Amino acid sequence: MTTKELGFVELEWTCPRCNTRNPGTQTTCSGCGAPQPDNVQFEAAAAGQLLQDTEKIARAQAGPDVHCPYCGARNAATAATCRQCGGALDEGARREAGNVVGAFHAGPPPDIVCATCGAANPGTATTCQRCGAPLARPKPVASSPATPKASRSGGSWLIVGIVGLVVGALALFAILSMRTTEMVGVVREARWVRSVPIEGLVPVQHTAWWDQLPQDAAGVSCQPALRRTQDTPADNAREVCGTPYVVDTGTGVGRVVQDCRYEIYEDRCSYTVDEWRVVDTLEQRGTGFAPEWPVAALQPRQRLGRGSERYQCIVSAGEQSFTYQPRALEEYLQCQPGSEWRLEVNSFGALNSIQPLP
């Protein structure tokens, strides 16, 4: 993804001594005058406007602030000596930077109700306009607790019972299928079916990207469609960006960015090309051992496809009749009427195996 910079916004920090909220670029508390400790974290304001102050923006772009190793005062990244005590900043600790501190919400924040006196204050206020007490950060509206779902233990037991019945039925079916009875059958009739598909050269519709159209495409009709998404900008690409968020620069100023991807649209076309497709099927049926292929009268732009053949051997054993389908002509030729075959029949009356008797 491409990270797109929208600008910079002032952050804020809360004094650990008096709980006063202070602008991020302010190094001492406006409530009690205490210096900002080096471990205090910057936070995103509830809402705000992008900075226009070029000095603050330049400081944010220069890198994280440095805390003096002697007095702890915050100094700009470009400073060589401490603004408060004059000490060298070579050994000073730079503030953390790069952490996401929250989403960016443009415009005025919601009002804040003072916990001390109950007065409503503008969302940008850090102390109560009535009593002067420090104001806490606005809290997000809590979502309603989820309604507990009714117990479905009874339904679970029902499902378990149904599964058990299905498994039991399958097991019983397998057992009965394995129990077979041997008997001798006599071939009563031998049948055959031969079929041949007729293929015609007909127009078939397809879709493809403009640069993938075949040379013989006809009836081409195109319209823009999403072909791919990429992380870098491109000509005629559609930019799709997420919610802006604020990244701590370690200076009391946050960098407002959003992650963007780029949708590439190109022409997707429908077209037709002539292809061989089955338009009819000829079938010839008969009995005996001289199967024939059907005769076709082909029209222009037609041809014969690959033929197929099926064979059936009708075998009787007592009052029962079975249909066996030989896989090849050689096996079918053994199904001479009157010949005897050994049969294995399962408990359901289905034919499990068949073999000619010598």
As a whole number of angstroms, the distance between CA 45 and CA 10 comes to 8
> pLDDT (tens digit, 9 = 90+) per residue, 67-102?
999 988 899 999 999 999 999 999 999 999 999 998
Phi, psi (degrees; rounded to nearest 5) at 252:
90, -5
pLDDT score at 250:
94
Two tokens, residue 340 = 């005897």
The H or E element spanning position 168 is: helix 153-178
As a whole number of angstroms, the distance between CA 26 and CA 35 comes to 9
The H or E element spanning position 150 is: none
Which residues make Cβ contacts (< 8 Å) with residue 325, sequence separation at least 6?
A: 310, 311, 312, 313
- Successive 10-residue mean pLDDT values, the chain, 358 residues: 92 91 90 87 83 94 94 92 94 92 79 83 77 70 40 61 70 61 93 97 97 96 96 92 94 95 97 97 95 94 95 93 91 93 88 88
Ordered by where they begin, the domains of the chain are: 180-196+283-356 (2.40.50), 200-272 (no CATH)
As a whole number of angstroms, the distance between CA 356 and CA 31 comes to 106
pLDDT score at 155:
60
Pairing of strands 245-248, 100-103: antiparallel
Two tokens, residue 199 = 């293929």
> pLDDT (tens digit, 9 = 90+) per residue, 175-218?
655 677 899 999 999 999 999 999 999 999 999 999 999 999 99
Two tokens, residue 344 = 């294995």
The H or E element spanning position 242 is: none
Q: What is the pTM of this model?
A: 0.59
